[in-house]
Amino acid sequence: MDHLKPPVSVIMPVRNAAKTLERTIETVLNQSYTNIVEIILAIGPSDDETSVAAEEQEKLDPRIQIVENKSGGTARGLNLAAEIATGEYLVRVDAHCLLPDSYVDIAVKKIRETGAGNVGGIQMATGEIGFQSAVAAAMTSKFGVGNSKFHYGGLEGPVDTVYLGVFDAALFRELGGFDEKLIRNQDYELNIRIREAGRSVWFTPEMVVKYFPRSNISQLFNQFFQYGSWKRKVIFKHPKSMRIRQVAAPSLIILILASIVLFVLSSVWYLIPLITYLSVSIAVSILQKGLPFRLRVALSLIFVTMHVAWGLGFLFGRARILTVSDK
């Protein structure tokens, strides 16, 4: 019965999502959890017909509400939605993902069982076209993205961060929500503050969300360059949060640059580290299961793009902080 289930609010930042918003909202409306009291869409400036698509969805269900997010920033949009949300728990949803029907049911059960501040699961990268399928394979590979459980799964328990997340609304507000100065990595940063407040960030492999990654190499490079840039900002804000996996890509860039310089100045032998890295990337790609050979060849380029872009972003990226005027 609904009165025995705590009320839940879905908060969703939406931008450039005209093609995906309908099916994402459909998965929210299909949830088995019966006390979702509102679905709040924070609509940012878009290059497509996102606003029109959102207005069409608003007509489908009285729980769907629209708020304007002038800055377009993800953190700002989530905070705007959370400000008017009335649920005991806040379910963050991305406008480019698909939820399983039991997602909210599992999340509420887990957050109440564990007392966690945030509960989440797996970002199941899924490709709908050839190149995107190879990107999805890279984003579920330890060689590609490191050892964060939310990329590929693992045992249930406390972790540094999870994908999306279902938050205790009272704690979310107590901590001030997402840091609106951060364009990327705002989820990881909030999870740091949740853990510093003495609450856990809980991972469960039962919560699996389909995510559709970038479908061309330039978009992928830009995405990972931004990830690296904003990760540096978060580490500077919370130095104790740094993990070994986060220095792997910047170290790779330094190693590559040093190899090339020493090769030019001294000996061809200094290219061995670079050749070794490229050889390992190719070997991991060729051995990848579930992809046709041509996509396994592309996978080696995708691995290099992700690593190099992240490392360059971390070392040299200029992360522009959102100001009050942007909001």
Query: pLDDT confidence of 26, banded at 50, 70, 90?
Result: very high
Q: Which residue has the higher pLDDT, 11 or 183?
A: 11
By the 10 Å C-beta count (0-12 exposed, 13-18 middle, 19+ buried), 147 is classed as exposed
Q: Could you identify the residue written with the tokens 């490079």?
A: 221
| Average pLDDT over every residue of 157-185 | 95
Q: How far apart are CA 306 and CA 285, in angstroms?
A: 14
Residue 129 has pLDDT above 50, yes or no: yes
Query: Domain residue spans in the chain?
Result: 1-96, 239-326
State pLDDT tens for residues 228-257.
999 999 999 999 888 888 889 999 999 999
pTM: 0.89
Q: What is the pLDDT of residue 244?
A: 84
Mention every residue, 6+ apart, whose C-beta is less than 8 A from residue 183.
73, 74, 75, 226, 230, 319, 320, 322
CA 218 to chain centre: 18
Answer yes or no: are the C-beta atoms of 268 and 276 closer than 8 Å: no
Q: What is the pLDDT of residue 322?
A: 52
Answer yes or no: are the C-beta atoms of 44 and 69 closer than 8 Å: yes
| Average pLDDT over every residue of 260-278 | 93
Q: What percent of the chain has pLDDT over 90?
A: 80
Q: What is the DSSP string of 263-280?
A: HHHT-GGGGHHHHHHHHH
Write the DSSP symbol of residue 214: -
SS3 assignment, position 208: strand
State pLDDT tens for residues 274-283.
999 999 999 9
Strands 118-125 and 89-92: unpaired
| Average pLDDT over every residue of 260-269 | 92
Q: What is the pLDDT of residue 191?
A: 96
State pLDDT tens for residues 97-123.
999 999 999 999 999 999 999 999 999
Count of all residues that appear for the chain in the document: 327
Please give the angle made by the CA atoms of 162, 165 and 171, to the nearest 5 degrees.
110
Q: Could you identify the residue written with the tokens 């579930």?
A: 290
Tell me the C-alpha to C-alpha distance, in Å, between residue 68 and each of 24, 73, 81, 122, 174.
19, 11, 9, 29, 23
**Which run of H or of E encompasses 212?**
none
CATH topology of domain 1-96: Spore Coat Polysaccharide Biosynthesis Protein SpsA; Chain A (3.90.550)
| Both tokens assigned to 260 | 């090339």
Q: What is the pLDDT of residue 320?
A: 63
- Could you tell me if residue 146 is left (phi over 0), alpha (psi between -120 and 50 degrees) or otherwise beta? left
